[in-house]
Amino acid sequence: MRSECIVLSVANHKGGVGKTSTAINLACAFAGTRRRVLLIDLDPQGSATVSILRKRPTGLISSGNALMSEASLVPCIKPYNLAKFDLVPANDDLTAFCVSCINEEGKEFRLKNALSSLRLIYDLIIIDCPPALNLLTINALCASDDLIIPTTCDYFAVDGLSSLLRLFEKLKTDGMSNVRLMGIVRTLYSLGEPLAKKISEDLKSNLGTLLFNTIIPYTSLISEAPSMGRPVILYDRSCLGSRAYLSLAGEILKRMEQNRLTQAPAAQDPDANQSPEAHQATDANQAPAPAPEQSTAADSDDDYLSDDDLPDYAEPRTNSLIGNRPQKAAIAAPQDAASAVPTDAPTAAPPADVTAATEAVANNNLPE
């Protein structure tokens, strides 16, 4: 039996905090573990869509079309063969959805309803939210199991963080969402900048374990990679940004496993006492979920990683990801790059299956 699908939103009220880069690179890392991954671009700007499809989303069947008509998202799905995950693209119709449905009942649950069938197809669904506290963000939070908030270490980003946390608490208090706050990740971190260090320390003292240990450093390669039509993990696997995103993916997998183990005693399997014949009869009566025709995301036989496979963040990083960035071989990775990745505690290498599988995806699909 495969693991239950997890819907993960990446959101922040403030723009320019690395939200889209985080969503894309996490999708790439998780797809490298042979999980079936779907990335939903819920930002009307369509930054994730343009980064992946290399063109403006004008005219595409998008998430906005489906949400307005309460239709299935399956016809919207586009395969991203390079990184082995699927995409639901965005366009200006998402803005039209916010305007046209403002007075309709149940508007907050359109996305949740649309994902009900896709949960049977994918292992992980990642939602790239818009940089606004609007109907789209509310739909994402109502549809999600977990929330990750990327934030830069500056005053305005932290202020946006507090606004999103208030919305998060209100939706839970009103009974509209059961989303968990998995954690907050510091992004675009400038090494050696005193103000960034001070705000980072303040976040750590106030948020505690809600703050991921991994910090995504500022590097031009993270911004450069989308212009080449690929995540930074596949663009330069040895750079600090790639290593940090793989480390973050490992840390997220560890928290997912902890959540699963915490919920396991309370969630008893109703079929546990059924005979094999009765269990087979139940399965035979279940209608299969419609699969996206164009989807090429790799099938997964894996459930969550075991504790032994996940990184221990008390251990120093001992190895590096080896690989050359295509078309940019002249730019070498920094010396002693492993020790330069900023973290609150020394980090181990990403899980073996994240590292090896992501490299395999790149080696099999990069152009000559």
Q: Is residue 302 part of a domain?
A: yes
Helix (H) or strand (E) holding 228: none
The span from the CA of 133 to the CA of 98, in Å, is 11
Please, what is the angle between helix 135-143 and helix 93-100, to 10°?
90
The pLDDT assigned to 325 comes to 33
Neighbouring CB atoms inside 10 A of 262's CB total: 9
pLDDT of residue 350: 54
Residue at 274 is within a domain: no
227: in domain: yes
Residue 217 lies in a domain: yes
pLDDT at 267: 52
Q: Which two tokens stand for residue 317?
A: 């990083």
Any residues with CB less than 8 A from the CB of 284 and at least 6 apart, and which?
none
Does 270 map to a domain? no
Global pTM value: 0.75
pLDDT of residue 291: 56
pLDDT, residue 337, reads: 37
Q: For residue 90, is it within any domain?
A: yes
Q: What is the pLDDT of residue 336?
A: 39
**Domain containing residue 84:** 6-264+294-365
The residue ranges of the chain whose pLDDT is under 70 are 1-3, 56-60, 264-368
CATH code: domain of residue 334: 3.40.50.300
- Tell whether the torsion through CA atoms of 134, 18, 16 and 66 is positive or negative: negative
pLDDT for 7 equals 97
Q: Which residues pair with 113 in a beta bridge?
A: none
287 assigned to some structural domain? no
Question: Is residue 277 in a domain?
Answer: no
CA 114 to chain CA mean position, Å: 18
Give the total number of structural domains in the chain. Answer: 1
C-alpha to C-alpha distances, 270 to 121, 259, 267, 286, nearest whole angstrom: 22, 20, 9, 15
